[in-house]
Structures are given as C-alpha cells and as structure tokens.
Structure 1
C-alpha cells in the first residue's frame, strides 16, 4: 500500500534553508525563514519566559492532561491580549492549539463542518500554508487582489472589487497586522470598509494574527482585529504566541470563535470535538508560560518592554535599509520598506532576480521576493542594498 504514495512538493522555505547551510560564502545573508533573530543572529529566550519557566519548574506538581480546550486561564489571558474589552466574554468560544498553524487548521475544519459549500477568500499573496491547508482539507481558496507590485502597497480598490464577488456564507481570511508575506497593511479606515462589505455580503470573517506587537505596538496591532470582532456577527480568530513570546518550538496558539451568546456553547462543543479528533489534548507548557506572564503585572511589563525592543530593532533595520537603498539607487523607490510593518517585506521583483541575488551575492530570500527583515543586522544591510541595486531590482 505505501508504494502508492507520491512525493509531495518540496517546501520552498525549507529548501532555501538547506541551500543556505551548504553555501560556503562567509558573507551570506539568510532572509528566508520567518524567525526573529537579534543582531548576533540568535533567536533569544525572552527574560519573562525564562522567569515563568523557572516558576513552573518549582511549582508544577503534575504533567497530567489539561482539558480538551486547554487551560481556561490561558484562553482568558489570550482573549484579553488580543481582543481586550471589545467583545463580551460570553460570546467567545476558544481552544488552545499547537501553534498558530494548529489554530488555522482547526478554523478551516470548523468552517467545513458549518458550511461545506463555503469558499475561503485569501489575499494574493498570503502565507503559503493558508492555501496548502485549504487544499488538503478540501476547501476552495479564492484569491483576492491585495499587493500592488508597482507601489508595494495595498491594492485596496482591487481588494474590495474582488471581495464584492463573494457569495453569502463564504469566508474572508484577513491578516490582523504585519501582513505575511508583503508587510503592507490596511489602515483603520480601510478596515472599516472591509467590515462594512463583510456585513453587507453576509460573510464570515477570519483573522489570522501571528505578529501582535511586531508592527506598531501591542495595542495598536490589535485595533483591526478588535474592530472586526466587535462589528461582525461571526468571526474566527487564529492567534499565535510563537513570535511575540519567542516560544516557536513550544507550539502555542489559540482559536477563538465569536457568535451570538446563545450559540457559544454549541460552538465550544464543536471546537472541543475538533481538538479531540486531531490531537486530543493540546500542549500546555507554552500556554502555561504565556498565562504566567500575562497574569503577573511585573512579568507582563518586562515582556512588553522586551517585545518593544524587538519591534524597534526591526523598525530601525527597515529605516536603515530604505536609506541605504536611497543612497545607492539615487531614488526613493524603496521607501516602502520603511513603511511596511512586521518581520517581512516583499520587494516586488521576479524569481529570476531573486535567484541572481543568491548566485551573485549570497542573498537568500523566498522566490516571491519576501525577505525577513529580522534576518538583517547593521553589517548585512549594506550587503543587501548593494545586491538589490546591482541585480537591477
């Protein structure tokens, strides 16, 4: 039977990582994998995480299973972080998941149960796993225009025109902040227009928020998802703690579902059911660390301060790269890099020129020209700027 299996398509980012490791050139620059790195190229364990883990080691007396939905205190803490007071708690069902990816997968499974005919409208481009998982679970993904390769901003008119073709009951998948892979984001006025369209067309909104705190700040990055949550009747929110808590390998995520208060118990039952079918009980260590941090004022303040240092570091690299490119190119055509937010920017060039930068200058970025800003430092910014200009981007 196993002889019937076929080779699966290679993951572009994992393939890129392998090629980077094998490149002997000392000045090579890795801008592919979506992991935060400091100036020394290290993904550090945050101070508050270390302290929370120390406390857990000293006080935790059992490694028994948690509930199917995970620890209720974790759900409460994450709902507070992402949604604040924008939605009544009684209208929110939630389950802990293995990372933000697990939350996305469970959301798609829930959509298929609720409306097997629903299509999911995704930005063009979007995080590749969105489309890959939709294909695997048998839901049609419909792209809507998003990234303008001329301005490197949002093609908002095209976005609205395409979403206007969605059918009642379809799903609109939105990035809560720090759009991956482009770094180009909607402003709040644009978000309100999207909300109005969702309500007019009677669509379900789904928000993937994986980078809260990496863009304009913890509260600022939550504004869009809070607007959607407080304005649309049915909303799914997939949250991740990988980036803003730096606990990538702990696989800590959450799926929230907002509905009318009377519907919340049945929605919660369905979320619990999906957890049971996929992995039974969710992992708890990362969730327990996050809960410890968010419910302790001193730890939370220290975590928020370190997260702000991370955000400002990436913003500084953006500004440095934009200025370096301005000087080398003699134009402002790369100014969008300083305007984008989060870990990523898509510079809007061809796979051929991306490959040319790899061959000529040992610059490793995904073929669609997405680059991880956090993969840079003061020394590698001039190397990248020279490579971009020399390649004729």
Structure 2
C-alpha cells in the first residue's frame, strides 16, 4: 500500500535548520526559524510561565480531559486578550486548538463545510503554511498584492485593487499584526478601508494573529482585529500563544468565530467542537492552563507583560542597530525600512543568489526569499550581518 505514496517536498525552513546545525563556523547566524532568542541564543521560558507552571504542579489534581472546545476559562481569557470586549459574548464562538497552525487549519475546514466553493485569498507573500494547508484541503486560492519589493512597504493600492475582485462568500486571510514574512503592516486607516471593502463584498475575513505584543504593544497590535470583528457580521480569528508566551512546544491556540447573532453562534460553536472531535478530540491543556493562569492572575500578568515588553523592545533595538549599521556602511537610507517594520521578521529584498552568497561566505542563514528573523540577532552579530549584506551587494 505505502508504495503508492508520493514523496513530499521538504519544508525549506526545516531544511535550513539542518544546514545551520551542520555548519562548523563559530560566527554562523541563524535567521531562519521563527523563534525568539535572547542575546545568548537561547529561547527562554518566560518568568511568568515558570511561576505559573510551578503553581500548576502544586495544585493540579487531575489529567482528565477538558471540554471538547477546551477549558472555558482559557477560552475566555485569551479571547479577552485579543478582542477586549470588541465583540459581544452572544456572537462569539470559540474552541481551543493545538497552536495557531491548528486554528488556521480548523478555520479553513469550517469554511469548507460552510461553502465548498469559497476561494481563499492570501497576501503575496504570506506564511508558507497558509498555502500548504489550503492546498492540502484542496481549496481554491488566489493571491493579492501586499508587499512592494522596491519600497519594502505595503502595496496598499495593489492590495485594494486585487481585493476588489473578491466574491461574496470568499475568505480573505489577513495578518493581525507583524506580517510574516515581510514585517510590513497595515495602519489603522488601511484596516478601516479593508473592513469597508470586505463588508461591501460580503467576504469573510480570517485573521491570523500570532504575534500580539511583538509589534507596537498588546493593545496597539490588536486594534485592527478589534475594528474588523466589531464592524462586520462574520469573521474568523486564529490566535497563537507560541510567540508572546514562549510556549512553542505546548501548542496553544484558539479559533474564534464571530457570528451575526446568538442563534448562529450556537450552530457555529457546535461545528467548532465537532471539528475538534474529528481531528483530535480534546485539545491539549497544559499550555492553555498556564496562559489562563497568567492572564487571570494580576501579579503573573504584570510579570508577563513586563517581560513581553522587554522582548519587544529588544527586537526594536536590533532593528534600529541594523538599520544604522547599514546606513554607516552604505551612506544610504535604503535600509531604513528595517527600523520601520515590526515583529520578528523582515524581508530584506535580496535575490536568492545573494542569500546563498551570504550563507556560503558569511554563515548567514535566512530563507531564500530573504525573510530574516530579527530575533535571531544579538548586538554582536548585527555587524556580521551588515557586512554580509553589503558584501553580497544587496
């Protein structure tokens, strides 16, 4: 039977990780995989997470299943963090998921159940797993312009022109903040224009918010999400705790579905829990429980918010340092966009050949489209990267 299986293409980021590990150079720099690293190159367990886990270890009395939709306290806490009351409780259905990836997959399955003919619109570029999941589910997909390779900013006029072709019942995937892979984000006025367009087109927004708190802060990063969900009758939100709580391996996420009224909310909730049952039955709880404890405990929440700000400001400092280092080396402000982008990623604008040159000559590992993880840098490796960028002729 297995002889009929086809080989699957290797994930480019996973392959890059293997190459990096096998490189013997002490000066190598990993800007590929999307995890936060401290100045020592470690991905730390956040202080509040450690404290919550200690409490959980002492107080937990059972490892029995939670509800099919996850623990209600977690659902309430995380939906509150993202939406902060922007949507009435009577319109909001939600179910815990194994990470943001699980939430995206489940959201698209829900769409396919509701409208098998829906086309899924994705930004060009977008997180590669968006494309992979859509393809796996055999759904129709269309890209819309998003990133201007010359200015390294949002091509908003191109985006709006392309989204003008969206049909009623189509789905538009939007990045809630800290766009992956470009780092270029919509401003609030642009969020309002997108919301108005989708409302007129009767299209469904699917908002992927995986980096809340990594851009301009917890509240600012959620403003676009809150506007669109409070304005339109229906929307989907896939939230991840991997980055902002640092619980990558705990696979902690939430899928939220905003319905027009409480009657439709009940039907949507039934479908969310049905999908959970088919795919994995009960969602994982350890990471969800830790996140809920942090959000509901004032002292733990304060500690977490303080550390999250430290992480955010570290990345902003690295962005500024890199932009200034490149300005000093080139006498040009053409890399100023690095300080303007937000989140973990920026697309440098290098060709695949230049990316390969930086890897071979300088041990700089980034994805072939020149997406780089700013959090993979530290103050000592910024100059190594700046020299490599200039040497490669970017």
Q: 1:298-352, CA deviations, whole angstroms, 9 ceiling, x for partnerless residues?
A: 1001100000000000000000000000000110000000000000000112111
Aligned position for 1:33:
33
Aligned position for 2:23:
23
Task: State the shift of 1:204 in Å.
Answer: 0.5
SS in structure 2 opposite 1:308?
Answer: helix
Task: State the shift of 1:141 in Å.
Answer: 1.6
Task: State the shift of 1:90 in Å.
Answer: 1.2
Aligned position for 2:206:
206
Aligned position for 1:276:
277
Dislocated runs of 4+, deviation >6 Å: none
Instruction: State the TM-score, normalized to the length of structure 2.
Output: 0.99
For 1:316 and 1:55, how far apart are their aligned partners in 2?
Answer: 34
For 2:209 and 2:369, how far apart are their aligned partners in 1?
Answer: 22
Aligned position for 1:71:
71
For 2:385 and 2:276, how far apart are their aligned partners in 1?
Answer: 44
For 2:12 and 2:54, how far apart are their aligned partners in 1?
Answer: 37
For 1:25 and 1:73, how far apart are their aligned partners in 2?
Answer: 48
Q: 1:119-161, CA deviations, whole angstroms, 9 ceiling, x for partnerless residues?
A: 1100000000000000001111210000100000000000000
Aligned position for 2:81:
81
For 1:302 and 1:362, how far apart are their aligned partners in 2?
Answer: 36
Aligned length: 393
For 2:275 and 2:349, how far apart are their aligned partners in 1?
Answer: 39
For 1:351 and 1:234, how far apart are their aligned partners in 2?
Answer: 40
Aligned position for 1:55:
55
Aligned position for 2:263:
262
Instruction: State the TM-score, normalized to the length of structure 1.
Output: 1.00
Aligned position for 2:378:
377
Q: Could you tell me which runs of 5 or more consecutive residues in structure 2 were left unpaired when the two chains were aligned.
A: none
Q: 1:243-299, CA deviations, whole angstroms, 9 ceiling, x for partnerless residues?
A: 000000000000000002220000000000000000000000000000000000010
Q: 1:41-96, CA deviations, whole angstroms, 9 ceiling, x for partnerless residues?
A: 01111111011101111111000001100000001001110000111011100000
SS in structure 1 opposite 2:244?
Answer: coil
Aligned position for 1:297:
298
SS in structure 2 opposite 1:105?
Answer: helix
Q: CA RMSD in A?
A: 0.5
For 1:371 and 1:360, how far apart are their aligned partners in 2?
Answer: 17
Task: State the shift of 1:232 in Å.
Answer: 1.1
For 1:349 and 1:58, how far apart are their aligned partners in 2?
Answer: 51
Aligned position for 2:98:
98
SS in structure 2 opposite 1:318?
Answer: helix
Aligned position for 1:43:
43
